[in-house]
Structure 1
Amino acid sequence: MTQRPERADALRNREAVLAAADALFASSSSPHGVSMDDIATAAGVGKGTLFRRFGDRAGLIGAVIASRLEPLKRDVLEARDTTGSAPRQRVLDLLDASLRFKIENRNLMSAAEDAGISSPYRAGHYGWWHEMLRAELGCVPTVHDPDFTAHALLAALRADLVAHLIDERKMTPEGLRSSLAAYVDNALGGGRERPGTQD
C-alpha cells in the first residue's frame, strides 16, 4: 500500500513544533524547564497535536535531535570522503564533531537522557556515531578492539557530563575540546609504539 504524502498543514505543524522545541531547549537554563505545554504554546498548536504526532516527550525530543543532526551527518560524511586524512585524524574529527554538537545542544541532549529514551545505546543517533567511529578505529593499528573502543570513547561525551563540565565546572568549550583531543590521543597510544611491541 502506497503511503500518502503528508498534508501541507501537517508538515507545517511538524516543522513549527520542532523549531519551537529546539529554540526552547536552547534558551532554557535546564533540560527540565521545557514542558510539552511550553512547546505547544510556542508552536501555536494544541497539546494533543504533539502527543498524536510524536507519542510522548521522549518521541518529540528524539525527533528534534534527528532534525538537528541531519546537516551535521552530511558534513561529517562529506569531510570523510573529501579530506583524505589519516584514520587517526578522522577519529579525532568525528569525536570533536560529536562533542561540539553536545556542547551546542547540551540541554536538548540532557533532556533526551532524562526523558527515558530507553538506553542511550539504543538511540538511533548513538548507533550512527558508534558505527562511524568503529569503522575508523578499525583502521588505526594501535586499536585492538574497535567496537569496545568506540563505546568507551563515546562514553566520554555523555550529555550530562558535558553539561556538568561546561555549566558547573565552568570549562570553556575550547578547553573541553582540547582535553578530549588529548584524552583520545592518549587512548589511541599517541602514535607511539606500545612498550614491549618491538622485537
Structure 2
Amino acid sequence: MSTHAAGDGPSLPIGPPPVRERADAARNRRRALAAAEALFAERGVHSVTMDDVAAAAGVGKGTLYRRFTDKGGLASALLSERAIALQGEILGGPPPLGPGAPPELRLRAFTTAYLRFQATHLDLVLLSETSTPGARLRKGSYAFWAQHAEMLLRARGVRDPLERAEVLLAGLSAEQVSSWLRDQGRDLEALVEAMGRLADALGSAGT
C-alpha cells in the first residue's frame, strides 16, 4: 500500500500502488468508466445495468465483469479519483483540513468535508458500500479516513482513539447520510454543524 507524508503527522495510505496496464486494457478501462459515469448521470445508478455499460463503452461483457465484477466495483472505481482529490487536500492542502492547524480543528474540518463528499456522491457511495456485506469497511479509502481520524484523536490525548474514529465514520456512512437527507428530509448544512459538534465531543480530552 502506498503512503504519503501528512506534513505534521504520520504517513497515511491512499490506496494500492498503480498497476502497469497494457495499452488496450487501459483504454477499455477508461471507456468503461466514462460510459458508466455518463449513464449513471443520465439515468440514475439503479436504472443502469452492466450490460448497458458494456454496450455504451464498446467492450465485451466478459471484459467488463472481469475488470469490475459488478456495479459496486464500477462505483468504487469512479469514486477513487474523487476520494484521492480529497485525500490530497488532507495531506497537503491548506489548514484546517490540511496540515498546520490544531488537531481539534482538523478533525472538525475533516468531518464536514467528508460529510459533504458523501452527500455529493451519495448514490455512487451507497452502491460501492452496500454491494456486498462489509464492503464499506474493506474499501482502501476507509483505511485512510480511519487512520487520519485516529491520528487526530490520538493527538488530542483521548482514550480509545481508534474506536472513536470508527464511531465517527459510522455516523458518516452512506446509509446513515442517505437516511438523514432522503428519508428524514434533514438539511445538509444543519447536519454539517451537528456532525462538527460530534467531532468536537469525540475529540474532547475530558471524555
CA distance in 2, matches of 1:118, 1:102: 17
Partner of residue 46, structure 1: 60
Shift of 1:117: 5.8
Structure 2 residues not aligned, in runs of 5+: 1-18
Structure 1 CA distance for aligned equivalents of residues 151 and 94 of structure 2? 12
Counterpart in 1 of 2:110? Answer: 94
Q: Give the whole-Å Cα distance in 1 for the aligned partners of 2:134 and 2:113.
A: 24
1:197 corresponding residue in structure 2 = none
Matching of residues 8-27 of structure 1 within 5 Å:
8-26=23-41
Q: Which has the larger radius of gyration?
A: 1
Q: Distance in 2 between matches of 1:9 and 1:116?
A: 29
1:121 to 118, 137, 141: 137
Map of 1:78 onto structure 2: 92
Name the residue aligned to 1:152: 167
Total equivalences in the alignment: 187
Residue aligned with 2:132, SS: coil
Moved over 6 A (4+): none
Distance 1:101 1:22 in 2: 17
Give the alignment's TM-score, normalised by structure 2. Answer: 0.78
1:65: how far off?
Answer: 2.3
Q: Is structure 2 residue 103 aligned with structure 1 residue 103?
A: no
Determine helix, strand or coil for the equivalent of 2:80. Answer: helix
Structure 2 counterpart of 1:169, one-letter code: Q
User: 1:51 deviation in Å?
Assistant: 1.0
Deviation (angstroms), 1:5: 4.5
Letter of the structure 1 residue corresponding to residue 91 of structure 2: L
Q: Given that residues 26 and 107 in structure 1 are in contact (C-alpha distance below 8 angstroms), is that contact kept between their aligned partners in structure 2?
A: no
Name the % identity. 36
| CA distance in structure 1 between the partners assigned to 2:133 and 2:38 by the alignment | 21
Q: What is the CA–CA distance in structure 1 between the aligned matches of 2:186 and 2:38, rounded to whole Å? A: 24
> Which amino acid in the other structure matches residue 19 of structure 1?
A
Map Cα deviations across residues 153-178 of structure 1 (whole Å, 9 max, x no partner): 00100101111222222223222211
Give me the whole-angstrom Cα distance separating, in 2, the residues matched to 1:66 and 1:37: 22
Indicate yes or no: 2:34 matched with 1:34: no
1:188 pairs with 2:203:
yes
The residue identity in structure 1 corresponding to 2:125 is M
**Cα distance change of structure 1 residues 165 and 124 upon mapping to structure 2, 3 Å threshold:** same
Secondary structure at the aligned position of 1:138 is classed as helix
